[in-house]
Amino acid sequence: MNKKCYNFFEMGKRKPSYYEESNRKRFEELSGRLKSLPFFCREYFIGIEPRTSVLTRLNYARDLEIFFHFLHDNVAGFEYIGIDELTMTDLEKIKTSDIEYFLSYITYYEHNGIRYANGEKAKARKLSAVRSMLRYFYNKDKLSKNVASKVATPKLHEKEIIRLNDHEVKTLLDAAESEKKFETPHKDAYNLNTRERDAAILTLFLGTGIRVSELVGLNVTDINTEENAFTVTRKGGNRTTLYYSPEVGEALSKYIKTREKRLFEAGDTAEDALFLSLRNKRLCVRAVQNLVKKYTGTVNPLKEVSPHKLRSTYGTALYRETKDIYVVAEVLGHRDVNTTKKHYAAISEDIKREASSRHILRSQDKNKK
């Protein structure tokens, strides 16, 4: 979005949404990173803009920055060329073996003074960034070959999907509503100031399956308490309406009353964000992640539970209740139902087993001798 658009917001006609503000920050970071990349990268990022989100392009820019630093520091023929001086002629020099070396290199590496480690999933994403760029220029007839197409994608091993069972869900929500649950009086005292908020957050995760980015982006005006519904901005910016149970509605209503009281006492009634910090500012993603980790740690310290695990818990429950993968995909906001199938394949086995046990080949007449 250009400067003129943001001046429109600054004039007071409309305050930018959380989604718009997040995209603005990402766009600014992307613009800054492009300055340190080869000049031809500008053409590439402009070319893929119509079919990618700004977050995707930003992640590609981060990964390509690592790739070009790798070439400069590790591949013969690139050491005497500044990264911002690379040309299409230099891209022609890249070999399949260089990209394979890159994938090995990023297992453990250092960038800007920070040490990193990459597993198979992170390697696959970085390979995707390199492939996308080389494929773009190959399709534009600016490269004679696409060497990245010959590099095998790292084998991805499916990780066990961690969910909370029914008992753990009940214990978690009871803990969130309890006055005393932590190891020190100080932490319990702090909890009294956030109890309604934290209970509403956990209940909303477990009762609707929304993403953490969607939760922190909610405004109080997005909630329709009469219809037990709320409007959420999905990945990509699409707005959709989701519905929640009376139990979720009760937790939200309690928190909203507390929220309004806090803002009134602080003389700050203009804040739009639904979930606020103790400073009456919108909670960030990291704060919510820490919040979930703190509470779930009191329930089962052996399970590393993130907001996404709570989302999986809801998806599991919804699938068991509806036995309809398409409903689950729609509610969770999956564009491809195969994504949903992959995550809930284990439950499919339960459903198939139950269905087979109910299938009767020959009815038996008890009165027949």
24 counts as catalytic: no
Interatomic CA distance for residues 339 and 344, integer angstroms: 9
Catalytic (active site) residue 42: no
Active-site residue, 150 included: no
Catalytic option among 163, 195, 311, 343: 311
Q: Specify whether 359 is catalytic.
A: no
Give φ, ψ of 108 to 5 degrees.
-140, 120
Of 123, 126, 195, 334, which residue is the catalytic one? 334
Catalytic member of 125, 294, 308, 309: 308
| 299 close to 172: Cβ distance less than 8 angstroms | yes
Query: DSSP of 143-166, one letter per residue?
Result: SS--GGGGSPPPPPPPPPPP---H
Catalytic site residue from 109, 314, 319, 344? 344
Token pair of 22 as six digits:
């997040």
User: Which residue from 277, 249, 251, 247 is spatially nearest to 262, judged by alpha carbons?
Assistant: 277
Residue 135 appears among annotated catalytic residues = no
Q: Which of 33, 163, 197, 211 is catalytic?
A: 211
Is 344 catalytic? The answer is yes
Q: What angle do CA 83, 123, 342 make, to 5 degrees?
A: 145
C-alpha–C-alpha distance, residues 235 and 335, integer Å:
10
d(CA 162, CA 346): 12
Of residues 69, 235, 262, 303, which has the active-site annotation?
235
Say how far apart CA 71 and CA 136 lie, in whole Å: 19
| Phi, psi of 144, deg, nearest 5 | -80, -20
Residues that are catalytic: 211, 235, 308, 311, 334, 344
